[in-house]
Amino acid sequence: MIETWRDIVGHEGLYRILSEGRVMSRYRRPEARGYIRKTYLDGEGYPQMRLVKNGVTAYYRVHYLVLLSFCGPRPKGHQCLHRDGDRQNVRFNNLRWGTQRENAADAIRHGTQVRGETNGRSKLTESQVITIKKLLATGHSLRSLGKRFGVDHTTIGAIKLGKSWGHLP
């Protein structure tokens, strides 16, 4: 595939981007050459960069800039999806616009879905949930189990119904 530079939408004449995700800052003098900008990872592991226009600094994820410049504006209710599940692969042929539902389905397919203990907000461990399920089967109440494990009884109810931790036996 032949790589071509395109102006970044909204920053025309200032920054250009390749379909592989490299961004070039253009010098204002015609005889000078631009230079490739460095990216860094944001808190969620996505390549990000800072762009300045008219003295105003804005931070953008590189995959968004690639799709915006090579595919057009983001459709309402859509987000950037990575076909291979790799947040750092920002090549145009790996990206597409899609819905939150499609993104969630992709995460399951890629194995990148955050579930169970890998969810940073989880208050229970897998072994605790297995114990809770066994105790529920023997007739323990939601409230008593909630108190015992330090969570609300509605959390125990969600476990009982399979709405949370449904991937465990």
Question: Minimal CA–CA distance to 20: which of 111, 86, 93, 82?
Answer: 93
For the CA atoms of 92, 93, 94, 98, the dihedral, rounded to the nearest 10 degrees, stands at 80
**What top-level class would CATH report for the domain 5-110?**
alpha beta
The tens place of each residue's pLDDT in the chain, 169 residues long, gives 677 889 999 999 899 999 999 999 986 666 566 788 999 999 999 999 999 999 999 999 999 999 999 999 999 999 999 999 999 999 999 999 999 999 999 988 988 877 777 777 889 999 999 999 999 999 999 999 999 999 999 999 999 999 988 888 8
Domain ranges of the chain: 5-110, 116-161
Alpha carbon 160 to chain centroid, angstroms:
29
Answer for the pair 146, 123: CB distance below 8 angstroms, yes or no. no
pTM: 0.72
Answer for the pair 46, 61: CB distance below 8 angstroms, yes or no. yes
Q: How far does the chain reach from its first CA to its final CA, in angstroms?
A: 47
Question: Minimal CA–CA distance to 85: which of 107, 67, 63?
Answer: 107
